[in-house]
Amino acid sequence: MKKSVVFLEVEGGNDKGPDGHRKDTMPMIEAVRARGWKADVLYYSDSDFDRLLREIPEQYDAYVSRINPGHIPGGEARYFDLLRQLCARGVVGMPHPDAMVAFGAKDALVKIRDTDLVPDDTFVYYDMPTFRAEFPNALAQGIRVLKQNRGSTGSGIWRVEVLEPGALAAGQPVPESTPLRCTEALDNHVEELTLGAFMDNCAQYLDGEGGMIVDMPYLPRIVEGEIRILFVGEEPVFVVHKKPAEGGFSATLFSGAQYTYDDPAKWQDLVDLFLANLPAIAERLGGHDTPLIWTADFMLDTDDKGADRYVLGEINCSCVGFTSQLDRGIQDKVAAEIIRYTTSKLAQ
């Protein structure tokens, strides 16, 4: 074993500091080095594909992917191909690209709909004919939230409601001529469109590889905040309580949401619930190991007995950051997990 790990980044993007790296990259590298391992950063580009495929297996036991796929010129397909080939050559992947896709894709919610964490009436659409045929039926049941598979910071996440629900025919799909109020989580801006025009605008979310729209019921208690658990491996490290700005439903900083960082013990019931479901979740998402750094986002709902219920909104794992929490020593937990996981995988 080489006792060596490479962190993969891409040049450019709005997630870089003055040194050209993500602000949490060098703290993690320093933490790995402090444990006696070699750790370096390499930049990915499509033009360097062959060189990286040759050099990384020669020099490193493992890679840690720290690239937001949206920052790769030309898209993520070639980069994911590199990661798959590196794993096939014995490099330990953190995470494996297939795990990144399985956990991070929005349709993960539909795949784990049979757990206690996702409402039964959560759907996914992969093409326009299906979307046009099925979404009017879902909308007839009440306010919906649609999520595109790509994007970040609330882009392409819409709360969709009929302006005059009392005018609808009971038990019938919503006609495409029906006026809607559509609020985007990006900045809580509102657009009033007919259902037909809104669905036309959503065609962009279905284009290309990975295009999809997830459709789930709107939970009014989102105004109480979204609860995000950040994990390193299977260890919950901290919880972020993200409370939307007054009158909004978006939990992004850009939209004015207020963030509070808590110890996981403050949310022990939620943590225990999710960890109890994690083996079933991992199995339904392909049996992959959990990612190195990842998050699970929850909203509050109320069950039939009036008790709190936690609803999973999404999982993120492509490039989760923790720059605002470096003083918690999370980089040390990451370094320890990198060494533990790499050593374990190479011993198999």
The DSSP result for 39-92, as a single string, is EEEEE--GGGHHHHHHHHHHH-SEEEE---GGGSTT-SHHHHHHHHHHHHTTPE
Pair 113, 228 in one domain: yes
Question: Are 154 and 187 contacting, i.e. CB atoms less than 8 angstroms apart?
Answer: yes
Pair 229, 163 in one domain: no
Pair 248, 291 in one domain: yes
Pair 112, 235 in one domain: yes
Predicted TM-score (pTM) of the model is 0.90
In a domain, 200, yes or no: yes
Closest CA to 233 of 81, 70, 64, 69: 64
What is the pLDDT, as a whole number, of residue 250?
A: 66
Q: What's the number of domains the chain is made of? A: 3
Pair 263, 188 in one domain: no
Pair 133, 81 in one domain: no
Which residue, of 182, 200, 218, is where some domain finishes?
A: 218
Domain extent, residue 198, equals 123-218
> Rounded CA gap, 295 and 228, in Å?
6
Pair 314, 235 in one domain: yes
Q: Is 307 exposed, middle or buried (0-12, 13-18, 19+ CB in 10 A)?
A: exposed
Which residue, of 189, 218, 247, is where some domain finishes?
A: 218
CATH code, domain carrying 87: 3.40.50
Pair 291, 337 in one domain: no
Residue 236: CB partners within 8 Å, gap ≥ 6?
229, 230, 264, 271, 275
Pair 177, 193 in one domain: yes
Supply 296's token pair. 């699970």
Supply 91's token pair. 């490099």
Other CB atoms within 10 A of residue 235 CB: 13
In a domain, 287, yes or no: yes
Pair 314, 331 in one domain: no
> Rounded CA gap, 111 and 122, in Å?
10
In a domain, 100, yes or no: no
Residue 341 DSSP SS3: helix
In a domain, 47, yes or no: yes
In a domain, 13, yes or no: yes
What is the pLDDT, as a whole number, of residue 255?
A: 66
Pair 256, 310 in one domain: yes
Q: Across the chain, which distance is largest between two alpha carbons, in Å?
A: 69
DSSP state, residue 134: H
Phi and psi (nearest 5°) for 241? -100, 115
Which residue, of 185, 200, 218, is where some domain finishes?
A: 218
Pair 21, 113 in one domain: no
pLDDT along the chain (348 residues), means of 10: 96 87 95 98 96 98 92 88 98 96 92 93 97 98 94 85 91 96 90 97 92 95 92 96 77 75 95 95 94 96 91 91 87 97 96
CATH code, domain carrying 230: 3.30.470.20
Residue 264 DSSP SS3: helix
In a domain, 179, yes or no: yes
Q: At how many degrees (to 10) do helices 97-104 and 77-88 cross?
A: 130
In a domain, 133, yes or no: yes
Question: Are 166 and 182 contacting, i.e. CB atoms less than 8 angstroms apart?
Answer: no
What is the pLDDT, as a whole number, of residue 304?
A: 87
